[in-house]
Amino acid sequence: MIRKLAWVIIIIGLFLVVFNGFQWWDQLRRAVYDPIASKKVAQDWDDLQAKDALTQGVSTKNIKLKVSNQIGELIIPRMGAILPVVHGTDDESLKKGIGHYIGYGTVNPGETGHVVLSGHRDTVLRGAGQLKIGDRLYVKFQGNIYTYQIRKTWITDAEDRTIIVPISKPVLTLTTCYPFDYIGSAPDRYIIRAELIEVKKDKEAV
C-alpha cells in the first residue's frame, strides 16, 4: 500500500514538473530575443545621456482595450528583446507577455500620466537586471512609437502600494519580481521608472 502511494506521489510530481515546464516554455517563446531586430527601432538606442522629458503625452482616451488582448510591443534593445504587451495583469494575461496594468491612476502608453507594465522575471523580463539609467524603452502602440528613458530603479516590498499612483506627467513604470534568481513566489519587486522623451510614427504600422 505504501509503495503504491509512493508511486502515485511520484507520478503526480512528475506531471506537475512537466506541466509547469510547459507553461514556462510557452511564456518564454512569446518573447523574441533578437539583438539585431530590437536595435533597429532607433539609431540612438544606446545613447545614455539624459534627454528632456516631455510634459504632455498623446491623447488616446477613446480607445477601448480588451483584457488579455495584445495591444502593442515593448522593445528593449539593451536586452535584445521584443515583447508583446497585453491589456491586463491577471495570471492569464501575464502568460501571454508584458501586462498593461488596468486601474486607478494609470493610463494607456503615450498618454499624459502613469503607464504601468509588469512581467515575469523568469520569462519575458529575465534580463531586466542589466538595464541601466539612461537606457531607452520603446513602446509600440496604436501606430506610434513612444520612447521612454530610464531615470531610476529600486527594489521594494511586494505589498508596496505607493508604486501604482497617479502621476501628472507622461511616465512609465516597469515592474517584475525580485530577487531574479529566487525560487517560488518572490517577496520583493524590482521597479524601473522611465520618462517619455519622444513620440514618433511607427512606419511599420502605416
- Specify if 47 maps to a domain: yes
Q: Which domain, by its residues, includes 87?
A: 31-205
Query: Span 179-205, mean pLDDT?
Result: 91
pLDDT in tens, 144-182: 999 999 999 999 998 898 999 999 999 999 999 999 988
- Specify if 25 maps to a domain: no
pLDDT at position 58? 86
Residue 158 and residue 102 in contact, taking contact as beta carbons nearer than 8 Å = no
Residue 120 is among the residues annotated as catalytic for this protein: yes
pLDDT in tens, 76-112: 999 999 999 999 999 999 999 999 999 888 999 999 9
Q: How sure is the predictor about 6, in pLDDT bands with cuts at 50, 70 and 90?
A: low
Query: Span 21-42, mean pLDDT?
Result: 69
pLDDT in tens, 12-21: 656 544 444 4
pLDDT at position 62? 65
- Specify if 1 maps to a domain: no
* Per-chain mean pLDDT for the chain: 87
Q: CB under 8 Å to 119, separation ≥6 — which residues?
A: 83, 94, 97, 98, 99, 125, 174, 176
pLDDT at position 30? 62
Quote the number of domains for the chain.
Answer: 1
- Specify if 176 maps to a domain: yes
- Specify if 24 maps to a domain: no
pLDDT at position 25? 43
Q: Which three cell numbers stand for residue 3?
A: 509503495
- pLDDT over 90 percentage in the chain: 63
User: At 163, is the secondary structure helix, strand, or coil?
Assistant: coil
Between the CA of residue 189 and those of 30, 70, 124, 131, 196, what are the distances in Å?
A: 22, 24, 15, 15, 22
Residue 100 is among the residues annotated as catalytic for this protein: no
CATH code where residue 161 lies:
2.40.260.10
